[in-house]
Structure 1
Amino acid sequence: MPHDSSHAPEPVALSLSVPPRPARGLTEDLVRPVTADPGVEVLDLALGDEAVSAFLVRIVHGDSGFVARAASGERALAAVAATVAALCGEDIRAALAAPDLAFLTGLKPPAVEAFREVLLAVETADVAAVTTALAVLKS
């Protein structure tokens, strides 16, 4: 019996893409103890708002992220708000002075990922207090 190649099976398409990683929250695993060398630029949040603003304007347009060092939860929350403002082209000083919690908790996953690629960590001597202060951002 001759071989009939007209009934050859169709190739099966396989997806070889990497599955998407689960979306991180705005502050999930963001806070950590101070490290000797974080391997990226460090923003000392004890600096004045003008210096923090200038740093953020520069860093959000670069290719690497940064670590913020905060002595208080209030200043860490301000850093989160100011970083998002810098990424969105909003008023950084206003965000430092009065973080908009509703806006921050309403960010969509792509915006959260963009933020997390810039602000890599908040380092502090008081991890528990800063983590508690940032809990207002959990949606």
Structure 2
Amino acid sequence: MPPSRDEPRGLLDGLLTGRYDSPESAEAAAGPLLGAPIVPAGTITAPPSRDLVVELDTSGPRPEPAGWRPLRYQIDCSTDDLCHVLEFTAPAPLIVYADGPDESLADTARALTEAGHIPGLPAGHGRGAVSDFLAVLAHADTGYVARATGTAEVVALLSATAASLSGFDIREALASPDVPRLQRLIPEAAAALREILLAIEVDDPDRVGRELAELGLSPG
């Protein structure tokens, strides 16, 4: 099981998440590396038995306060919809993946953090844009989440987030992740990193977990 909402986290504890068709299909997602699964809001018909990230649709209804609340909500939006999403309120923290070019990534992240939302970092942005994004998040209280296409991007995000907190070159950390440095992080440094990098969404969390272990990176 991933750590509870109140427990400090190690570098990889509950780091990876994936998408599932329903709360029932997400029940199989278990292990110290796996965080709360992502499920569509329309599939939840009763309070689930575990923490979930609930995916919203900009054209769907806004969530109502209820007896059960997810760990986080998540929404994808276009640049045109961003102004409406910035005014959005929800019963739980809201992750926002905003579609836009490299040039707007950092400014969008800043606007989201100022609104109290959690910026989502899509895969595919250039190193300069990601570096500027992380420079914003290193001084924000919201943390961020990211999408990665594979294990190499997961390691790069860990290394770059560590660099953003310690004054090292973020672009260099993205280009040449320092795995031994990640392995040497003391618990306090790992916990501080995970206060910024909340989770990484990947297509196959189990495979990425195995490949991280082959690199000498594992939970605990």
Give yes or no for TM over 0.5. Answer: yes
Residues 22-58 of structure 1, C-alpha deviation per residue, up to 9 Å, x if partnerless? Answer: 6532112100014431722101131111111010000
Matching residue's letter, 1:126: D
Of structures 1 and 2, the one with the larger relative CO (CA 8 A, separation 6+) is 1
- Aligned residue for 2:120, secondary structure, equals strand
**Any gaps of 5 or more consecutive residues in structure 2?**
1-5, 20-37, 39-54, 56-73, 76-93, 95-117
Match of 1:49 in 2: 127
**Any gaps of 5 or more consecutive residues in structure 1?**
1-20
Find the aligned partners of 1:91 and 1:111 in 2 and give their Cα distance: 17
Q: Which runs of 4+ in 1 moved over 4 A?
A: none
Q: Give the count of matched residue pairs.
A: 119
Q: Is the 8 A contact 2:120 2:144 kept in 1?
A: yes
Match of 1:95 in 2: 173
Find the aligned partners of 1:113 and 1:32 in 2 and give their Cα distance: 18
Q: Is the 8 A contact 1:60 1:118 kept in 2?
A: yes
Given the two structures, how large is their TM-score scaled by the length of structure 1? 0.77
Percent pairwise identity: 40
Find the aligned partners of 2:201 and 2:156 in 1 and give their Cα distance: 14
Matching residue's letter, 2:202: T
Q: Which structure 2 residues correspond to residues 1-139 of structure 1 after superposition, within 5 A? A: 24-34=9-19, 35=38, 36=55, 37=74, 39=94, 40-135=118-213, 136-138=216-218
Q: Is the 8 A contact 1:44 1:69 kept in 2?
A: yes
Higher gyration radius (CA): 1
Given the two structures, how large is their TM-score scaled by the length of structure 2? 0.50
- Aligned residue for 1:85, secondary structure, equals helix
Find the aligned partners of 1:133 and 1:44 in 2 and give their Cα distance: 21
